[in-house]
Structure 1
Amino acid sequence: MFSRDFFTGLVRVVAIGLGTIGATGCAVAQQDSFTLITELPPGFGIKGEASYVPRMGENCTVPPRSGKNYPGKQFFEQELNDEAQTAHFEVPLTSNEGGCPLVLKSFGYEVDAKYGAARLNLGRDYTGISFQDGSEDTLTPPLPTTLQKQCEWLFRTVGTNRYIAKILKCKSAATPEQANGTVAEGPLQRAQLAGKTIKVVFSVAKEEQPYMGDTWVKFPEGWKRCMGKSLDDPYAFCRGNTTDFKPFKMPDGRECTIYPNCTE
Protein backbone atom coordinates (compact mmCIF):
# COMPACT_ATOMS: atom_id res chain seq x y z
CA MET A 1 0.00 0.00 0.00
CA PHE A 2 2.75 2.43 0.90
CA SER A 3 6.31 2.70 -0.41
CA ARG A 4 9.28 4.28 1.28
CA ASP A 5 9.95 6.92 -1.35
CA PHE A 6 6.40 8.22 -1.58
CA PHE A 7 7.11 10.50 1.35
CA THR A 8 9.08 12.86 -0.89
CA GLY A 9 7.31 16.17 -0.47
CA LEU A 10 5.66 14.90 2.71
CA VAL A 11 7.16 17.61 4.90
CA ARG A 12 5.20 20.26 3.07
CA VAL A 13 1.92 18.41 3.48
CA VAL A 14 2.50 17.59 7.14
CA ALA A 15 3.48 21.16 7.87
CA ILE A 16 0.07 22.21 6.62
CA GLY A 17 -1.61 19.58 8.75
CA LEU A 18 0.33 20.18 11.96
CA GLY A 19 0.93 23.89 11.80
CA THR A 20 -1.34 26.79 12.64
CA ILE A 21 -3.21 27.96 9.56
CA GLY A 22 -3.77 31.69 9.18
CA ALA A 23 -7.21 33.21 8.78
CA THR A 24 -6.89 33.62 5.01
CA GLY A 25 -5.58 30.09 4.49
CA CYS A 26 -8.32 28.68 6.72
CA ALA A 27 -11.05 30.44 4.74
CA VAL A 28 -9.71 29.05 1.50
CA ALA A 29 -9.24 25.56 2.96
CA GLN A 30 -12.82 25.43 4.24
CA GLN A 31 -14.18 25.85 0.72
CA ASP A 32 -12.68 22.63 -0.54
CA SER A 33 -11.21 20.64 2.34
CA PHE A 34 -11.91 19.32 5.80
CA THR A 35 -9.81 19.02 8.93
CA LEU A 36 -8.89 15.51 9.97
CA ILE A 37 -7.75 15.14 13.58
CA THR A 38 -6.00 11.88 14.44
CA GLU A 39 -5.53 10.88 18.09
CA LEU A 40 -3.03 8.10 18.76
CA PRO A 41 -2.27 6.23 22.00
CA PRO A 42 1.31 5.91 23.31
CA GLY A 43 3.64 3.83 21.15
CA PHE A 44 1.68 4.40 17.92
CA GLY A 45 2.40 6.11 14.61
CA ILE A 46 0.53 6.38 11.31
CA LYS A 47 1.11 7.06 7.67
CA GLY A 48 -1.94 8.41 5.88
CA GLU A 49 -2.72 8.28 2.16
CA ALA A 50 -5.53 10.37 0.64
CA SER A 51 -6.53 8.88 -2.74
CA TYR A 52 -8.47 10.67 -5.48
CA VAL A 53 -10.46 9.45 -8.50
CA PRO A 54 -12.00 11.28 -11.50
CA ARG A 55 -15.13 13.20 -10.61
CA MET A 56 -18.40 11.50 -11.58
CA GLY A 57 -19.18 12.08 -15.24
CA GLU A 58 -15.58 12.80 -16.21
CA ASN A 59 -13.97 10.65 -18.89
CA CYS A 60 -10.40 11.48 -17.92
CA THR A 61 -8.04 9.27 -15.98
CA VAL A 62 -5.55 9.99 -13.21
CA PRO A 63 -2.15 10.56 -14.83
CA PRO A 64 0.43 7.82 -14.20
CA ARG A 65 3.11 8.22 -11.58
CA SER A 66 6.05 10.27 -12.77
CA GLY A 67 9.26 9.76 -10.80
CA LYS A 68 8.49 10.60 -7.20
CA ASN A 69 5.29 12.44 -8.10
CA TYR A 70 2.10 10.53 -7.23
CA PRO A 71 -0.83 12.14 -9.07
CA GLY A 72 -4.11 11.79 -7.25
CA LYS A 73 -2.53 11.12 -3.86
CA GLN A 74 -1.49 13.13 -0.82
CA PHE A 75 0.50 11.79 2.11
CA PHE A 76 0.50 12.48 5.85
CA GLU A 77 2.49 11.11 8.77
CA GLN A 78 2.61 10.93 12.57
CA GLU A 79 5.87 9.32 13.63
CA LEU A 80 6.02 6.66 16.34
CA ASN A 81 6.05 8.27 19.76
CA ASP A 82 6.18 6.89 23.29
CA GLU A 83 3.61 9.49 24.30
CA ALA A 84 0.00 9.93 23.18
CA GLN A 85 -0.21 12.37 20.29
CA THR A 86 -2.72 14.37 18.28
CA ALA A 87 -2.26 15.80 14.79
CA HIS A 88 -4.37 18.03 12.54
CA PHE A 89 -4.36 17.41 8.78
CA GLU A 90 -6.04 19.61 6.18
CA VAL A 91 -7.37 17.14 3.59
CA PRO A 92 -8.47 18.49 0.17
CA LEU A 93 -11.82 17.16 -1.06
CA THR A 94 -10.94 17.75 -4.72
CA SER A 95 -7.83 17.98 -6.85
CA ASN A 96 -6.87 18.48 -10.46
CA GLU A 97 -4.10 16.47 -12.06
CA GLY A 98 -3.18 17.00 -15.70
CA GLY A 99 -6.53 18.71 -16.32
CA CYS A 100 -8.49 15.82 -14.79
CA PRO A 101 -10.90 16.96 -12.03
CA LEU A 102 -10.58 14.57 -9.08
CA VAL A 103 -12.53 13.93 -5.88
CA LEU A 104 -11.43 12.33 -2.63
CA LYS A 105 -12.21 8.59 -2.67
CA SER A 106 -10.52 7.27 0.49
CA PHE A 107 -8.11 8.04 3.29
CA GLY A 108 -6.03 5.00 4.20
CA TYR A 109 -4.09 4.53 7.43
CA GLU A 110 -0.98 2.41 7.81
CA VAL A 111 -0.85 1.93 11.58
CA ASP A 112 2.42 1.04 13.34
CA ALA A 113 2.72 0.26 17.05
CA LYS A 114 5.52 -0.91 19.35
CA TYR A 115 5.09 -3.73 21.84
CA GLY A 116 8.73 -3.97 22.94
CA ALA A 117 12.03 -2.13 22.93
CA ALA A 118 13.66 -4.05 20.07
CA ARG A 119 13.48 -2.67 16.54
CA LEU A 120 11.42 -5.62 15.29
CA ASN A 121 8.94 -5.50 18.20
CA LEU A 122 6.53 -3.76 15.88
CA GLY A 123 2.99 -4.49 14.75
CA ARG A 124 1.30 -3.08 11.65
CA ASP A 125 -2.21 -3.01 10.29
CA TYR A 126 -4.28 -1.03 7.79
CA THR A 127 -7.58 0.77 8.16
CA GLY A 128 -9.20 3.85 6.69
CA ILE A 129 -12.17 6.00 5.74
CA SER A 130 -14.10 5.93 2.46
CA PHE A 131 -16.04 8.75 0.81
CA GLN A 132 -18.86 9.00 -1.72
CA ASP A 133 -21.01 11.52 -3.59
CA GLY A 134 -24.19 12.78 -1.98
CA SER A 135 -26.58 15.70 -1.77
CA GLU A 136 -25.93 18.09 1.10
CA ASP A 137 -29.68 18.44 1.70
CA THR A 138 -30.57 14.75 1.76
CA LEU A 139 -27.84 13.11 3.77
CA THR A 140 -28.62 10.15 6.02
CA PRO A 141 -27.21 9.30 8.45
CA PRO A 142 -25.82 12.65 9.62
CA LEU A 143 -22.11 13.29 9.48
CA PRO A 144 -20.37 11.89 12.58
CA THR A 145 -17.89 14.18 14.30
CA THR A 146 -15.83 11.28 15.70
CA LEU A 147 -14.78 7.94 14.24
CA GLN A 148 -13.37 5.24 16.51
CA LYS A 149 -10.64 2.82 15.45
CA GLN A 150 -10.26 -0.01 17.94
CA CYS A 151 -6.91 -1.81 17.89
CA GLU A 152 -5.94 -4.96 19.74
CA TRP A 153 -2.83 -7.08 20.20
CA LEU A 154 -2.92 -10.77 19.32
CA PHE A 155 -0.04 -12.72 20.86
CA ARG A 156 1.74 -15.90 19.78
CA THR A 157 5.10 -17.65 20.22
CA VAL A 158 7.70 -17.89 17.46
CA GLY A 159 11.00 -19.70 16.97
CA THR A 160 12.69 -22.48 18.91
CA ASN A 161 12.98 -20.23 21.97
CA ARG A 162 9.26 -19.46 21.81
CA TYR A 163 9.53 -15.68 22.01
CA ILE A 164 6.28 -13.76 22.35
CA ALA A 165 5.42 -11.85 19.17
CA LYS A 166 2.33 -9.73 18.68
CA ILE A 167 0.11 -8.98 15.72
CA LEU A 168 -1.77 -5.69 15.55
CA LYS A 169 -5.37 -5.64 14.36
CA CYS A 170 -7.39 -2.43 13.96
CA LYS A 171 -11.04 -2.06 12.97
CA SER A 172 -13.82 0.51 12.99
CA ALA A 173 -16.03 0.66 16.07
CA ALA A 174 -19.21 2.53 16.92
CA THR A 175 -19.04 5.61 19.14
CA PRO A 176 -21.84 6.90 21.42
CA GLU A 177 -23.05 9.20 18.63
CA GLN A 178 -23.36 6.13 16.38
CA ALA A 179 -25.78 4.23 18.57
CA ASN A 180 -26.62 1.57 15.99
CA GLY A 181 -23.07 1.34 14.64
CA THR A 182 -24.14 1.89 11.03
CA VAL A 183 -21.90 4.94 10.59
CA ALA A 184 -18.80 3.28 11.99
CA GLU A 185 -17.48 2.00 8.67
CA GLY A 186 -18.80 4.79 6.40
CA PRO A 187 -18.62 5.82 3.69
CA LEU A 188 -18.84 9.52 4.50
CA GLN A 189 -20.45 11.83 1.99
CA ARG A 190 -18.20 14.55 0.60
CA ALA A 191 -20.96 17.14 0.25
CA GLN A 192 -21.20 17.37 4.01
CA LEU A 193 -17.49 17.67 4.74
CA ALA A 194 -16.35 21.06 3.39
CA GLY A 195 -15.02 23.20 6.23
CA LYS A 196 -15.89 20.54 8.83
CA THR A 197 -13.72 18.65 11.32
CA ILE A 198 -13.63 14.87 11.69
CA LYS A 199 -11.76 13.29 14.57
CA VAL A 200 -10.41 9.73 14.29
CA VAL A 201 -9.55 8.27 17.69
CA PHE A 202 -7.36 5.18 17.87
CA SER A 203 -7.55 3.13 21.07
CA VAL A 204 -6.10 -0.17 22.28
CA ALA A 205 -8.15 -2.99 23.81
CA LYS A 206 -7.16 -3.62 27.41
CA GLU A 207 -7.20 -7.41 27.07
CA GLU A 208 -5.02 -9.25 24.56
CA GLN A 209 -6.06 -12.47 22.86
CA PRO A 210 -4.12 -15.41 21.35
CA TYR A 211 -3.44 -15.05 17.66
CA MET A 212 -4.54 -18.63 16.95
CA GLY A 213 -7.24 -20.70 18.61
CA ASP A 214 -6.58 -23.86 20.65
CA THR A 215 -2.97 -22.93 21.42
CA TRP A 216 -3.32 -21.27 24.83
CA VAL A 217 -5.48 -22.01 27.88
CA LYS A 218 -6.82 -19.18 29.99
CA PHE A 219 -6.57 -19.29 33.78
CA PRO A 220 -7.48 -16.63 36.36
CA GLU A 221 -3.78 -15.65 36.49
CA GLY A 222 -3.36 -15.46 32.71
CA TRP A 223 -2.70 -17.61 29.63
CA LYS A 224 -0.58 -20.78 29.48
CA ARG A 225 1.00 -22.08 26.28
CA CYS A 226 -0.04 -25.60 25.37
CA MET A 227 2.68 -28.24 25.11
CA GLY A 228 1.51 -29.81 21.85
CA LYS A 229 3.52 -32.87 20.81
CA SER A 230 6.75 -31.64 22.44
CA LEU A 231 8.72 -28.57 23.42
CA ASP A 232 9.86 -28.35 19.81
CA ASP A 233 6.36 -28.49 18.32
CA PRO A 234 6.03 -25.05 16.62
CA TYR A 235 2.25 -25.27 16.33
CA ALA A 236 1.51 -26.87 19.71
CA PHE A 237 -2.26 -27.18 19.53
CA CYS A 238 -3.88 -28.08 22.84
CA ARG A 239 -6.17 -30.80 21.41
CA GLY A 240 -7.87 -31.25 24.76
CA ASN A 241 -4.65 -31.37 26.82
CA THR A 242 -5.17 -28.61 29.39
CA THR A 243 -2.61 -29.84 31.92
CA ASP A 244 0.72 -29.86 30.03
CA PHE A 245 2.25 -26.51 29.16
CA LYS A 246 5.60 -25.14 28.08
CA PRO A 247 7.59 -22.03 28.97
CA PHE A 248 8.18 -19.13 26.62
CA LYS A 249 10.12 -15.87 26.55
CA MET A 250 8.89 -12.31 26.73
CA PRO A 251 10.20 -9.82 24.12
CA ASP A 252 12.63 -8.55 26.78
CA GLY A 253 14.08 -12.06 27.25
CA ARG A 254 12.40 -13.07 30.50
CA GLU A 255 11.60 -16.77 30.91
CA CYS A 256 7.90 -17.11 31.64
CA THR A 257 5.20 -19.70 32.24
CA ILE A 258 2.08 -17.53 32.03
CA TYR A 259 1.09 -14.53 29.91
CA PRO A 260 1.14 -11.61 30.50
CA ASN A 261 2.11 -11.90 34.19
CA CYS A 262 5.18 -14.07 33.33
CA THR A 263 5.23 -15.98 36.64
CA GLU A 264 2.40 -17.59 38.58
Structure 2
Amino acid sequence: MMHVRRFTPQLLQVLFVSAMALVASGCSIAQTESFTFQADMPENFTISPMAYYASASGESCSGHNLIQSEQPKGVRPVEFKLPLTDTAKGCSMVLTKVVLHIEGQWGKRDLDMSLQTAGLSIRDEPSEKVRPFPTSGPLVFQGQCQWLFRTMGSKRFIRKILQCRGLDANGVVQKSLAGAALQRDQLAGKTVKLVLTEAKEELPYFDRYWIKTTSGWKPCKGNWGRDIEELCVTPPQFKPFKMPDGRDCTVYPNCTE
Protein backbone atom coordinates (compact mmCIF):
# COMPACT_ATOMS: atom_id res chain seq x y z
CA MET A 1 0.00 0.00 0.00
CA MET A 2 1.43 3.36 -1.05
CA HIS A 3 1.89 5.88 1.71
CA VAL A 4 0.47 9.34 0.92
CA ARG A 5 1.93 12.27 2.87
CA ARG A 6 -0.45 15.08 3.75
CA PHE A 7 0.89 18.67 3.23
CA THR A 8 -0.19 20.51 6.32
CA PRO A 9 -0.26 24.35 6.34
CA GLN A 10 2.86 24.33 8.52
CA LEU A 11 4.75 22.11 6.07
CA LEU A 12 3.69 24.23 3.09
CA GLN A 13 4.98 27.33 4.83
CA VAL A 14 8.38 25.68 5.43
CA LEU A 15 8.59 24.60 1.77
CA PHE A 16 7.68 28.11 0.56
CA VAL A 17 10.34 29.76 2.73
CA SER A 18 12.94 27.25 1.52
CA ALA A 19 12.02 27.92 -2.11
CA MET A 20 12.32 31.67 -1.62
CA ALA A 21 15.75 31.19 -0.05
CA LEU A 22 16.89 29.22 -3.09
CA VAL A 23 15.60 31.92 -5.46
CA ALA A 24 17.35 34.65 -3.48
CA SER A 25 20.55 32.61 -3.50
CA GLY A 26 20.35 32.21 -7.26
CA CYS A 27 19.80 35.95 -7.77
CA SER A 28 22.80 36.85 -5.65
CA ILE A 29 25.01 34.66 -7.82
CA ALA A 30 23.89 36.37 -11.08
CA GLN A 31 24.90 39.89 -10.08
CA THR A 32 24.58 42.83 -12.44
CA GLU A 33 27.89 43.92 -13.99
CA SER A 34 29.13 47.28 -12.77
CA PHE A 35 32.17 49.54 -12.61
CA THR A 36 33.53 51.72 -9.85
CA PHE A 37 33.68 55.50 -10.07
CA GLN A 38 36.06 57.31 -7.72
CA ALA A 39 36.79 61.01 -7.24
CA ASP A 40 39.73 62.80 -5.64
CA MET A 41 38.58 66.36 -4.89
CA PRO A 42 39.41 69.41 -2.79
CA GLU A 43 38.03 69.34 0.74
CA ASN A 44 35.25 71.87 0.07
CA PHE A 45 33.85 69.94 -2.92
CA THR A 46 31.29 67.14 -3.27
CA ILE A 47 30.16 65.13 -6.30
CA SER A 48 27.00 63.24 -7.19
CA PRO A 49 26.82 60.94 -10.26
CA MET A 50 23.57 60.72 -12.23
CA ALA A 51 23.51 57.54 -14.34
CA TYR A 52 21.39 57.57 -17.52
CA TYR A 53 20.00 54.31 -18.92
CA ALA A 54 18.38 53.78 -22.34
CA SER A 55 16.50 50.81 -23.78
CA ALA A 56 18.71 48.02 -25.09
CA SER A 57 19.08 47.56 -28.85
CA GLY A 58 16.16 45.80 -30.50
CA GLU A 59 13.64 46.47 -27.74
CA SER A 60 10.55 48.62 -28.33
CA CYS A 61 10.97 50.64 -25.12
CA SER A 62 11.11 54.42 -25.18
CA GLY A 63 12.49 56.96 -22.77
CA HIS A 64 15.24 56.46 -20.25
CA ASN A 65 15.76 55.60 -16.64
CA LEU A 66 17.69 57.69 -14.13
CA ILE A 67 19.46 56.54 -11.02
CA GLN A 68 21.00 59.23 -8.83
CA SER A 69 23.73 58.29 -6.40
CA GLU A 70 24.53 60.59 -3.50
CA GLN A 71 27.23 60.61 -0.88
CA PRO A 72 27.10 62.69 2.31
CA LYS A 73 29.24 65.82 2.35
CA GLY A 74 32.73 65.39 3.70
CA VAL A 75 32.80 61.60 3.24
CA ARG A 76 36.16 60.39 1.91
CA PRO A 77 37.14 58.49 -0.13
CA VAL A 78 34.52 59.25 -2.76
CA GLU A 79 33.43 56.01 -4.43
CA PHE A 80 30.30 54.73 -6.21
CA LYS A 81 29.34 51.44 -7.84
CA LEU A 82 27.51 52.11 -11.11
CA PRO A 83 25.60 49.22 -12.78
CA LEU A 84 26.08 48.82 -16.53
CA THR A 85 22.54 47.50 -17.00
CA ASP A 86 19.15 48.06 -15.41
CA THR A 87 15.51 47.03 -15.86
CA ALA A 88 12.58 49.46 -16.09
CA LYS A 89 8.93 48.52 -16.77
CA GLY A 90 10.02 45.10 -17.96
CA CYS A 91 12.55 46.48 -20.42
CA SER A 92 16.29 45.87 -20.43
CA MET A 93 18.26 49.11 -20.09
CA VAL A 94 21.92 49.87 -20.72
CA LEU A 95 24.06 52.66 -19.29
CA THR A 96 24.66 55.42 -21.85
CA LYS A 97 26.24 58.25 -19.83
CA VAL A 98 27.02 59.48 -16.34
CA VAL A 99 26.65 63.17 -15.50
CA LEU A 100 28.81 64.17 -12.55
CA HIS A 101 27.27 67.02 -10.55
CA ILE A 102 30.04 68.95 -8.79
CA GLU A 103 29.27 71.29 -5.89
CA GLY A 104 31.88 73.69 -4.55
CA GLN A 105 31.44 75.55 -1.27
CA TRP A 106 33.13 78.95 -1.16
CA GLY A 107 31.68 80.41 2.07
CA LYS A 108 30.26 79.48 5.45
CA ARG A 109 26.57 79.78 4.54
CA ASP A 110 24.67 76.98 2.76
CA LEU A 111 23.96 79.35 -0.13
CA ASP A 112 27.66 80.15 -0.55
CA MET A 113 28.09 77.46 -3.18
CA SER A 114 28.19 76.96 -6.94
CA LEU A 115 27.55 74.01 -9.27
CA GLN A 116 29.33 72.58 -12.31
CA THR A 117 29.30 69.26 -14.18
CA ALA A 118 31.66 66.69 -15.64
CA GLY A 119 30.69 63.53 -17.48
CA LEU A 120 31.35 60.03 -18.75
CA SER A 121 29.97 58.85 -22.10
CA ILE A 122 29.59 55.12 -22.72
CA ARG A 123 30.31 53.93 -26.28
CA ASP A 124 29.58 50.58 -27.92
CA GLU A 125 32.10 50.95 -30.72
CA PRO A 126 35.83 51.79 -30.58
CA SER A 127 36.83 55.32 -31.60
CA GLU A 128 39.73 57.74 -31.23
CA LYS A 129 37.87 59.50 -28.41
CA VAL A 130 37.55 56.37 -26.25
CA ARG A 131 40.06 56.26 -23.38
CA PRO A 132 41.85 52.88 -23.12
CA PHE A 133 42.31 51.35 -19.68
CA PRO A 134 45.86 51.02 -18.35
CA THR A 135 47.32 47.57 -17.77
CA SER A 136 46.81 48.06 -14.02
CA GLY A 137 45.08 50.54 -11.76
CA PRO A 138 42.21 52.92 -12.54
CA LEU A 139 41.65 54.95 -15.67
CA VAL A 140 42.28 58.52 -14.48
CA PHE A 141 40.94 61.72 -16.06
CA GLN A 142 41.64 65.16 -14.67
CA GLY A 143 39.90 68.49 -14.26
CA GLN A 144 40.51 71.86 -12.67
CA CYS A 145 37.94 74.14 -11.05
CA GLN A 146 38.37 77.90 -11.15
CA TRP A 147 36.61 80.29 -8.77
CA LEU A 148 35.40 83.48 -10.48
CA PHE A 149 34.34 86.46 -8.35
CA ARG A 150 31.92 89.28 -9.09
CA THR A 151 29.68 91.73 -7.23
CA MET A 152 25.89 91.50 -7.05
CA GLY A 153 23.06 93.72 -5.82
CA SER A 154 22.86 97.40 -4.91
CA LYS A 155 25.37 96.91 -2.07
CA ARG A 156 27.79 95.05 -4.36
CA PHE A 157 28.37 91.94 -2.25
CA ILE A 158 31.06 89.55 -3.49
CA ARG A 159 29.74 86.29 -4.93
CA LYS A 160 31.66 83.42 -6.54
CA ILE A 161 30.92 81.24 -9.56
CA LEU A 162 32.53 77.85 -10.17
CA GLN A 163 33.97 76.96 -13.57
CA CYS A 164 35.39 73.45 -14.06
CA ARG A 165 37.25 72.35 -17.18
CA GLY A 166 39.19 69.30 -18.33
CA LEU A 167 42.99 69.04 -18.26
CA ASP A 168 45.00 67.40 -21.02
CA ALA A 169 47.90 64.98 -20.46
CA ASN A 170 50.24 67.95 -19.92
CA GLY A 171 48.01 69.61 -17.33
CA VAL A 172 46.83 72.36 -19.70
CA VAL A 173 43.27 73.62 -19.06
CA GLN A 174 40.88 72.85 -21.92
CA LYS A 175 37.74 74.67 -23.06
CA SER A 176 35.64 71.52 -22.65
CA LEU A 177 34.22 70.14 -19.42
CA ALA A 178 36.14 67.42 -17.60
CA GLY A 179 35.16 63.97 -18.83
CA ALA A 180 36.02 60.77 -20.66
CA ALA A 181 34.56 58.49 -23.33
CA LEU A 182 34.58 54.82 -22.30
CA GLN A 183 33.95 51.60 -24.21
CA ARG A 184 31.17 49.48 -22.72
CA ASP A 185 32.78 46.04 -23.12
CA GLN A 186 35.90 47.22 -21.26
CA LEU A 187 34.12 48.61 -18.19
CA ALA A 188 32.90 45.67 -16.12
CA GLY A 189 34.87 45.37 -12.89
CA LYS A 190 37.10 48.36 -13.73
CA THR A 191 37.66 51.64 -11.88
CA VAL A 192 37.39 55.12 -13.40
CA LYS A 193 38.75 58.02 -11.35
CA LEU A 194 38.32 61.79 -11.59
CA VAL A 195 41.14 63.84 -10.08
CA LEU A 196 39.79 67.35 -9.55
CA THR A 197 42.01 70.23 -8.46
CA GLU A 198 41.33 73.85 -7.55
CA ALA A 199 43.09 76.77 -9.28
CA LYS A 200 45.40 78.61 -6.87
CA GLU A 201 44.27 82.10 -7.90
CA GLU A 202 40.72 83.41 -8.17
CA LEU A 203 39.85 85.54 -11.21
CA PRO A 204 37.18 88.13 -12.06
CA TYR A 205 34.01 86.71 -13.62
CA PHE A 206 33.80 89.64 -16.07
CA ASP A 207 36.82 90.27 -18.26
CA ARG A 208 38.05 93.92 -18.23
CA TYR A 209 35.70 94.85 -15.38
CA TRP A 210 38.43 94.61 -12.73
CA ILE A 211 42.02 95.89 -12.65
CA LYS A 212 44.76 94.05 -10.81
CA THR A 213 46.98 96.21 -8.59
CA THR A 214 49.78 95.39 -6.16
CA SER A 215 47.15 95.33 -3.37
CA GLY A 216 44.63 93.15 -5.19
CA TRP A 217 41.76 93.35 -7.69
CA LYS A 218 39.71 96.57 -7.91
CA PRO A 219 36.23 96.73 -9.53
CA CYS A 220 35.74 99.44 -12.12
CA LYS A 221 33.15 102.17 -12.37
CA GLY A 222 32.20 102.72 -16.01
CA ASN A 223 29.81 104.85 -18.03
CA TRP A 224 26.60 102.88 -17.45
CA GLY A 225 25.88 103.90 -13.85
CA ARG A 226 24.93 100.41 -12.71
CA ASP A 227 25.25 99.11 -9.15
CA ILE A 228 27.64 96.28 -10.01
CA GLU A 229 31.12 96.51 -11.53
CA GLU A 230 31.30 97.87 -15.08
CA LEU A 231 33.63 97.87 -18.07
CA CYS A 232 36.77 99.80 -17.12
CA VAL A 233 37.34 103.22 -18.70
CA THR A 234 40.48 105.33 -19.16
CA PRO A 235 41.54 106.61 -16.74
CA PRO A 236 39.97 103.90 -14.55
CA GLN A 237 37.53 104.74 -11.77
CA PHE A 238 36.73 102.31 -9.01
CA LYS A 239 33.80 101.26 -6.82
CA PRO A 240 33.78 100.03 -3.22
CA PHE A 241 32.13 96.67 -2.49
CA LYS A 242 31.29 94.38 0.39
CA MET A 243 32.70 91.06 1.47
CA PRO A 244 30.19 88.27 2.30
CA ASP A 245 30.73 89.03 6.00
CA GLY A 246 29.64 92.67 5.49
CA ARG A 247 33.03 94.40 5.48
CA ASP A 248 33.37 97.47 3.24
CA CYS A 249 36.32 96.93 0.90
CA THR A 250 38.20 98.52 -1.99
CA VAL A 251 40.36 95.56 -3.19
CA TYR A 252 39.78 91.83 -3.44
CA PRO A 253 40.66 89.59 -1.65
CA ASN A 254 42.67 91.77 0.76
CA CYS A 255 39.74 94.17 1.38
CA THR A 256 41.92 97.20 2.17
CA GLU A 257 44.89 98.68 0.30
TM norm structure 1: 0.74
Show structure 2 runs of 5+ residues with no match.
1-26
Judged with a 3 Å threshold, the aligned counterparts in structure 2 of structure 1 residues 140 and 204 are, in CA distance, closer, same or farther, namely: closer
| Residue matched to 2:52 | 51
- CA 1:209 to 1:58, structure 2 compared with 1: closer, same or farther past 3 Å? same
2:41 equivalent in structure 1: 40
Off by >4 Å, runs of 4+ in structure 1: 25-29, 138-141, 175-178
Residue 12 of structure 2 aligns with which residue?
none
Corresponding letter in the other structure for 1:43: N
1:211 to 199, 202, 205: 205
1:253 to 239, 246, 249: 246
Structure 1 residues without counterparts, runs of 5 or longer: 1-24, 63-70
**Per-residue deviation, 1:175:** 4.2
1:133-153 Cα deviation digits (max 9, x unpaired): 136xx9965136112122111
Match of 2:107 in 1: 116
Confirm or deny that 1:162 pairs with 2:160.
no
**Equivalent in the alignment of 1:103:** 94
> Within 5 Å, which residues of 2 pair with 1:1-264?
32-62=33-63, 72-81=65-74, 85-134=76-125, 141-143=131-133, 145-175=139-169, 185-229=179-223, 233-242=227-236, 244-264=237-257
The answer to whether the 8 Å contact 2:130/2:183 transfers is no
Query: Do the aligned residues in 2 keep the contact of 1:53 with 1:72 (CA within 8 Å)?
Result: yes
AA matched with 1:97 = A
Distance 1:166 1:102, change over 3 A: same
Q: Secondary structure at the match of 1:191?
A: helix
Name the structure 1 match of 2:23: none
The count of residues paired between Structure 1 and Structure 2 equals 225
How far is 1:60 from its partner?
Answer: 2.2
Q: CA deviation at 1:191?
A: 1.1
RMSD: 3.3
Distance in 1 between residues matched to 2:36 and 2:90, nearest whole Å: 25
Change (3 A) 1:27 1:153: farther
Larger CA Rg, structure 1 vs 2:
2
Residue 158 of structure 1 deviates from its aligned partner by 0.7
TM-score normalised by length of structure 2 = 0.76
1-structure distance, mates of 2:45, 2:85 = 29
